[in-house]
Structure 1
Amino acid sequence: MSGERARLAGRIGTVGLGGAGLGNLYHPVSDEQARAALEAAWDRGVRYFDTAPHYGLGLSERRLGEFLASKPRAEFVVSTKVGRLLVPDPDGAGTLDLANGFAVPATARRVWDFSAAGVRRGLADSLGRLGLDSVDLLYLHDPDEHALGPALDTGLPALSALREEGVVSAIGVGSKSVPALLAAARSGMVDVLMVAGRFTLLEQPALDDVLPECRERGIAVASAGVFNSGLLAEPAPSAEGKYEYGTVPPSVLARANTLAAVCGEFGVELPTAALRFPLREPAVRTVVLGAATAAQVEDNLRRLTEPVPEGLWAVLRERGLIRT
C-alpha cells in the first residue's frame, strides 16, 4: 500500500457512518434526528463520513456539512461521489423521490455524467452543499448503472487528475456490481473500492476476483451494505425487510434465516455477525454503516464490540454458508 493510501486508511478507522439514511432513505428523518445520529457517531469516535448527491437529492450532503461545520477539519475524513449531477426539475413539484427510494421533495432530477467536466462540476456542487473546501476521498458512483466502459474510461482519468492536482487525497469506485469493482481494481488508478453488498455474511461474490485483486494491488476496501439493504439488520429476518433496496426473494429470506439460526447456536445475533464478518478480511480497512437515528448508531457500534466465537465462522464454513 502506498504511503498516501496507508495514511488515509489510518485516518478512516475501522468504522464509518454512511449517509443514505441521512438523506431520508425509505422514510422521512427530521433534521433533529439526523443531527443526533451524527452526534452519536462523533461521540463514539467515528471520524469517517460517507455521502453522495444521490442520497436524498443532496439532503444528506447538506445535513452532514451543517454538522461538520462545528468540527475541526483536520479531525474528520469525508467522502462523496460523482457521476450523478442534480439539476432542477419543475415537473417534480409536489411529489416525492420515492421511485429512487428517498422520501424527499422531487425538486431535482439526477443526470448521469462521468465526463471530466461532469466530474468536476459534480464535485463543485457537492462541496457547495457540504460547505467544505475539499473532500478527502472521491468515488465514481455506480458507473455500472449507466454505461460501465465509457464511465470508467472518462471518469477514472478525471478523478486521477483531481488527485494529481491535490484537489482530493484519494479516489475510488463505489458499486454493487462485481464487474465494475473488478474493472476499477484492474485499472491501476484507484486507492479505495467501496464494495456495497457484495462481501457480506449473506453473499460473498467479491471473494472470487475483486478482493484478491485488492490484496495484490494494495487497494483499500470500504465494506458497505453489510446488512444487504436491511435484511440482516434484525435478529430474525422478515419478508417485510429489504434486499437490494426491494422485496426479499423467498430463497434469500430462507438463507438469511438459516444464518440467523446458526448464529443463535453460538449466542450471537445475526446483525452482530453481519457487522463483524467483513472485518475478518485483510483488505477491508473500514465498514461503512448506514444509520438515520442515534439509537441505530449506538446499536451498530455496540455490536462491533461484542464477542463472536471463532467457532461460529468455522461452522458457517462447514455448512456452506460462508466461503471464508
Structure 2
Amino acid sequence: MSAWPARVPQLGLGLAALGRPGYINLGHGADLGTNLGADRSVEAMRRQAWEVLDAAWASGVRYFDAARSYGLAEEFLGGWLKERGHEALVGSKWGYTYVAGWRPDAQTHEVKSHDLATLQRQWPETLAALGRQPDFYLIHSATLETGVLGNEQVLGRLAELAAQGVRVGLSTSGPGQAQTLRQAMKVHIDGVSPLSVVQATWNLLEPSAGELLAEAHAAGWTVVVKEAVANGRLTSHGLTGNGDVPQPLADVAAELSVTPDAVALAAALQQPWADVVLSGATTLGQLGSNLNSLALHVHLPALATLAQSPEKYWQERSALPWN
C-alpha cells in the first residue's frame, strides 16, 4: 500500500548533505561556506539544517529522509520535529556507520555492514535520535554482494518491525540496482514479503532502474527517488563542478527560465511510478530552485541523450571527492 494514495508525486528533503560537514555533492563545501564560513561545528550545522528544514516545511514538504551514517542527521531531524511540534513522514536507513569524526577530510567516512548485529545496534540508536519510530526503515544501499537479501536473521527482524507498523525496505546503489530490486521483490518470510519500500537512484544520467521501479510501484511498493540531480552534476555546477552543464539540460532550463536542477527534479517527478523525489538541498537557495520543479512540465525526449551506461555513471560517481 503506497503512503501517498493520490498519484501526485511529492518533493521530500534528504539530509545526507545537512547532517555532517562533508559530503560528495559537487560544491558542498563551498555551499556550506556561503552561510557558515569556516565554522562547521555541530551547532553551526544544526542551525543550517534547521533553517533548511523550516523553509522546506513552510513550502509544503512533508517527507524527510535520514540515515545512521548521515552524521547527526537523525538527531537534527528529531530535535527539529520535537521543537516545532510537526507531524511528518520520516524515513531512515541502517547498514552504514558514520566514522568520519566530524571531519570533512577524513580518510574514511562510512563503514558498511549488513549483518544482524548492526541492525540490532542501529535500530535503537535511530529511535533515540529521532525520538520516535520512523515510518520507513530501509537497508542502506543493499546489494546482492552483501548477501543481506538472503540473510534470514536480518529479514526475520525486519519482518518483526513490519508487523509493528514500520514500512521496511531497501535503498539501492550501483550499476546492479535493478537486479537487487528484483531479488528484493522475491523475498518472503513465512509466505509474506516484509519489504514494501524502495529508495533508488534515478536521474537523467542514470535512468536504468526505471523499468523495475515501475514494476515495484505496480506491485504496491512505495518508490522514493534519490540523487535526482546526480550529486550536483545536474545542477549549475555542471558535470565536473566547473559549470559544464550538459547542453540539452542547459537548453531546456533556459527555455523554461529555471536552473538545471529544477529541470532534473521535474523529470523525476514526471515518472509515473515515483511517489516522492528527494531534494538534497544544502542551502535555502538550493531548496528554492529545487522547489521550482513542482511547477514544471519538461519534454523528456529532449533530455534522453543525457543517459549514460550504468557502469560509466557509477564509476564517475565513485570518483567524486568528499568536500
TM over 0.5: yes
Q: CA distance change for structure 1 residues 295 and 9 in 2, over 3 Å: closer, same or farther?
A: farther
Q: CA deviation at 1:262?
A: 3.8
| Residue 59 (structure 2) pairs with residue 44 (structure 1) | yes
Q: CA distance change for structure 1 residues 11 and 152 in 2, over 3 Å: closer, same or farther?
A: farther
Q: Hey, what's the Cα distance between the residues in 2 that align with 1:77 and 1:12? A: 16
Q: Hey, what's the Cα distance between the residues in 1 that align with 2:156 and 2:242? A: 39
Show the counterpart of 2:2. Answer: 6
Show the counterpart of 2:241. Answer: 240
Show the counterpart of 2:80. Answer: 67
Show the counterpart of 2:147. Answer: 149
Q: CA distance change for structure 1 residues 270 and 114 in 2, over 3 Å: closer, same or farther?
A: same
Show the counterpart of 1:105. Answer: none
Q: Hey, what's the Cα distance between the residues in 1 that align with 2:262 and 2:238? A: 13
Q: Hey, what's the Cα distance between the residues in 2 that align with 1:99 and 1:298? A: 33
Q: Hey, what's the Cα distance between the residues in 1 that align with 2:301 and 2:104? A: 46
| Residue 183 (structure 2) pairs with residue 171 (structure 1) | no
Q: CA deviation at 1:122?
A: 1.0
**TM-score, scaled relative to structure 1:** 0.75
Q: CA distance change for structure 1 residues 9 and 160 in 2, over 3 Å: closer, same or farther?
A: farther
Structure 2, unmatched stretches of 5+, are 24-28, 30-39, 188-192, 309-323
Show the counterpart of 1:201. Answer: 204
Q: Hey, what's the Cα distance between the residues in 2 that align with 1:112 and 1:275? A: 31
Q: CA deviation at 1:12?
A: 10
SS at match of 1:292: coil
What pairs with 1:100-249 in structure 2 (closer than 5 Å)?
A: 100=108, 110=111, 112-115=113-116, 117-130=117-130, 132-144=131-143, 147-154=145-152, 155-166=154-165, 168=166, 170-177=167-174, 178=177, 179-187=179-187, 188-196=193-201, 199-208=202-211, 210-234=212-236, 237-240=238-241
Deviations 1:11-56 (A, max 9, x none): 9961111011112233346322221011111111111110011112
Q: Hey, what's the Cα distance between the residues in 2 that align with 1:171 and 1:300? A: 28
Q: Which deviates more, 27-36 or 261-270? A: 261-270
- Residues 230, 241 of structure 1: 8 Å contact kept: no
Deviations 1:227-285 (A, max 9, x none): 11110121x6152269xxxxxxxxxx7xx513324425634542221010112222110
Deviations 1:60-107 (A, max 9, x none): 11111111112446x211111111346xx7xx7796563356xxxxxx
Q: CA deviation at 1:290?
A: 0.8
Higher helix residue share: 1
Deviations 1:92-146 (A, max 9, x none): 7796563356xxxxxxx7461431x43232110111122x13111100001229x
Q: Hey, what's the Cα distance between the residues in 1 that align with 2:238 and 2:141? A: 27
Of structures 1 and 2, the one scoring higher in RCO (CA 8 A, sep 6+) is: 2
Q: Hey, what's the Cα distance between the residues in 1 that align with 2:155 and 2:270? A: 29
Q: CA distance change for structure 1 residues 151 and 218 in 2, over 3 Å: closer, same or farther?
A: closer
Show the counterpart of 1:82. Answer: 94
Q: Hey, what's the Cα distance between the residues in 1 that align with 2:126 and 2:194? A: 22
2:107 paired residue among 99, 102, 107: 99
Partner amino acid for 1:140? Answer: I
Partner amino acid for 1:260? Answer: L
Aligned residues: 279
Q: Hey, what's the Cα distance between the residues in 2 that align with 1:42 and 1:76? A: 9
**TM-score, scaled relative to structure 2:** 0.75
